[in-house]
Chain A
């Protein structure tokens, strides 16, 4: 299955845009998570967590899904393939768990956003949850950074499947 050059460029543009957008949105989410976790000012928390909720639902989740989908299309529609080169395979093995974890972490984010909106947050409330959001965002950012490095450097190595074709 091979795409036309025009379709290939469109898919690649969509993939780069969604992936870098995902990275930037997670970076913004991390900044808000750090502000929320480090601050003892109730106003900062009530501003940070609703903003994180909106960013998560309307930017991070859609861009994460778009990045995975466009990545699949780009790899399957070109000679790179999905299972031929280790760097593509490793990116896939990074992106799928990250997307699954992204969808599994909707509850803590929604709860904190609602707590901020309902003005029930103060002081050291839900300390572990606030720290967990910082840890999760940091881990996600590192994974996305590794995926970006793999895309740029494309380290050599063909899988057995790729070599046999």
Chain B
């Protein structure tokens, strides 16, 4: 099992993955700050006023 990863330097795929992840997170927060994404993690007041209960 351990023979697969013999180098201690960070592989290129991890760096590329990290950069892609940072870009996705920035895009996500940009969209939320810009007001897109509907209710986000909570709901708009017009939604909340109708009340809500779990199934």
Contact = CB atoms under 8 A, between A and B. Distances in A.
Interface of A: 50, 53-54, 57, 79-80, 84-86, 90, 93, 101, 104-108, 110-111, 113-115, 120, 126, 128-132, 135, 154-160, 162-163
Contact of A158 (B7, B21, B36, B47): B7
A101 B24 CA distance: 14
Contacts of A104: 41
- Range of interface residues on B (Cβ < 8 Å): 20 to 34
Interface of B: 1-2, 4-8, 10-11, 13-14, 17, 21, 36-43, 47, 50, 52-55
7 A-B pairs closest in CB distance? A158-B5, A128-B38, A157-B11, A132-B38, A129-B38, A163-B8, A104-B41
B51 to A, nearest CB: 8
Nearest to A155: B13
Given A110-B54, A115-B50, A79 B1 contact: yes
Nearest to A132: B38
Contact of A156 (B11, B53, B54): B11
B14 A157 contact: yes
A156 B55 contact: no
Given A86-B10, A86-B11, A108 B39 contact: yes
Contacts of A158: 2, 5-8
A108 B36 CA distance: 15
12 contacts: A90-B14, A107-B39, A107-B42, A110-B54, A114-B52, A114-B53, A128-B37, A132-B38, A156-B6, A156-B7, A159-B8, A163-B5
Contact of B41 (A54, A105, A115, A130): A105
A128 B17 CA distance: 30
